[in-house]
Amino acid sequence: MHTRRSFLKSLALLGAAGALAGCRGQSPTAADPAAVGASGKPVVYASFYPIHSLVSAIAGDALEVRAFLPPGQDPHLWEPSPRAMQGLARADLLVVNGANMEPWLPQVRANLPDLEILVLSDYVELITYKGAAAIGEFQYLAAAPLTPGADYRLAFGHTHERTMRAAFFTAPAGASERDLVARGKEVMEDQGTEVRQKESVELVDGEVLKIDMGHESGNIDFRVPAGEADWYFVADRVSQDILSYDIIDDSGAKVPTDPVIDGSSSGTDEITFDPHSWMSVINAKRYCNAIHGTLGELWPEQEGAFGKGKFALVRELTRLQGEYKEIFGAADRQEFIVSHNGFAYLARDFGLQQRSLQGLTTNEAPSLYSLVAAIRYVRAEGIRIVYHELGVEDPGIETIVGEVGGETLPLASMEHVSVEDGPFGEGYLGYLRMNLENLAASIH
């Protein structure tokens, strides 16, 4: 029987405990070192719920499959405790989604170099976005008509990015495009002053703010200095689905900005990924093939059992794909409205278009401007159903559907699951089936 419990892992275990002593997430996890391997079977860890469900379905009873992420934790934000790392160090395989979904993965690679890791996103086509511009470059530069001494808010939608760098600077009246671009690049040479969401700051001409996004909607408030000036806004990212932002005045109105140039200052921008790649039916089938292939290589004596598990799972995925391809193909509309920007892969599978209300509303206290803008959009488009993330409270969504006389239905990204969820007992397939059934309700 193949195992990875080598002398090198023993050394890595000791190093991991010390290196991660200061990490967050100290609660007991499924990676309890005292329980690992209790069944006598090879031990496989899967990063979080959807990955664990797929691996378990294929592995069956041949392996001991454990979830690395503790229940109730946010997979985007959680970091493993020393206790979790100790359990992982005794594992034979770790299966992760990849695509920047597991921010702790570099720590694991560094501290457990002998651990076999299967990265499922390596086997699929990812949806990409422009990431942060390089230091000294920018993706967005625009004139921003700010009133001296007034208060403003830089409001953000839900994001999968950790930070954003932005600044306001002044320039002489009539400054040329060339001079403005040069000044913008000069300003963005600075790494930035760290600022957390919800903070209030006094605006300083040319100061870069490095904003901690924290994988959530939010804002920072700022006051403009006294004195007339022509202000410009520069940022290392352009507002887009993966990180939307607006400048809002003290009345709740959006400040109109006038771009200085189209596009970024450089062709060297980083590329980032929509991490929700497990949400695709097509990707799920490729995940199954990758999981089956890796398990079969590591434990060839169980190849038959793994093959049966994969065949049953892929057969049902294919059946759902065919059934809903026909349903969505005959749809009256291809657009659906969601609160959480996490369903682009599912939309791509079936030729649908996801529209996210995040950026207009937040998961905490949406502003009056945000709610009015969202209500106007939903009403103008004749939308009757707005989808909320299963397991996540969203006060803005209830307000919107109440105003337009619509209804809200759940969609599950499977990032926040509970044993109380109806589909929980059916695993990945149960949540996928619920998503497809509920989506079909809004397109006819």
Find all residues with CB under 8 Å of 305, minimum gap 6, and list them: 59, 60, 61, 62
Find all residues with CB under 8 Å of 323, minimum gap 6, and list them: none
Averaged pLDDT for residues 170-197 = 94
Torsion angle in degrees (nearest 10) through CA of 4, 291, 126, 274 = -70
Say yes or no to pLDDT of 2 above 50: no
> For the segment 389-404, what is each residue's pLDDT rounded down to a tens digit?
888 877 778 888 899 9
pLDDT of residue 200: 93
pLDDT of residue 60: 97
Average pLDDT taken over every residue of the chain: 84
Of residues 423 and 129, which shows the higher confidence score? 423
Nearest CA among 330, 368, 372, 320 for reference residue 352:
330
Nearest CA among 18, 27, 129, 130 for reference residue 70:
27
> For the segment 148-163, what is each residue's pLDDT rounded down to a tens digit?
999 999 987 655 567 8
Quickly state the pLDDT bin for 331 (edges 50, 70, 90): confident
Quickly state the pLDDT bin for 26 (edges 50, 70, 90): very low
Edge-to-edge strands of the sheet including 117-119? 64-67, 43-46, 93-96, 117-119
7-127+275-314 matches 332-442 in fold = yes
Quote the Cα angle for 336-338-340, to 5°: 145
Of residues 237 and 48, which shows the higher confidence score? 48
Gap between the Cα atoms of 160 and 48, Å rounded: 17
DSSP reduced 3-state for 31: coil
pLDDT of residue 142: 94
- Let me know: does 183 contact 261? Beta carbons within 8 Å: no
Tokens 């959530």 sit at which residue? 216
Quickly state the pLDDT bin for 416 (edges 50, 70, 90): confident
> For the segment 159-177, what is each residue's pLDDT rounded down to a tens digit?
556 788 999 999 999 999 9
pLDDT of residue 443: 79
What single string gives the DSSP state of each residue in 261-279?
SSS-S-S---EEE-S-GGG
Averaged pLDDT for residues 320-331 = 94
Quickly state the pLDDT bin for 15 (edges 50, 70, 90): very low
Say yes or no to pLDDT of 12 above 70: no
Nearest CA among 302, 364, 313, 376 for reference residue 339:
364
pTM of the model: 0.70
pLDDT of residue 367: 57
What single string gives the DSSP state of each residue in 309-343?
HHHHHHHHHHHHHHHHHHHHHT-S--EEEESSS--
Averaged pLDDT for residues 42-68 = 97
Q: Which CATH architecture has domain 332-442?
A: 3-Layer(aba) Sandwich (3.40)
Quote the Cα angle for 170-171-175, to 5°: 155
Of residues 148 and 424, which shows the higher confidence score? 148
Say yes or no to pLDDT of 374 above 70: yes
> For the segment 244-275, what is each residue's pLDDT rounded down to a tens digit?
788 999 998 999 999 998 777 765 445 678 89
pLDDT of residue 395: 77
Say yes or no to pLDDT of 328 above 60: yes
pLDDT of residue 170: 97
Range among 85-89, 217-221, 267-271 rated most confident = 85-89
Outline where DSSP puts E strands in 144-254. 151-156, 163-171, 193-196, 200-202, 208-212, 218-223, 230-235, 245-249
* CATH code for the part of the protein at 7-127+275-314: 3.40.50.1980
Q: What are the boundaries of each domain within the chain? A: 7-127+275-314, 130-273, 332-442
Residue count (the chain): 444
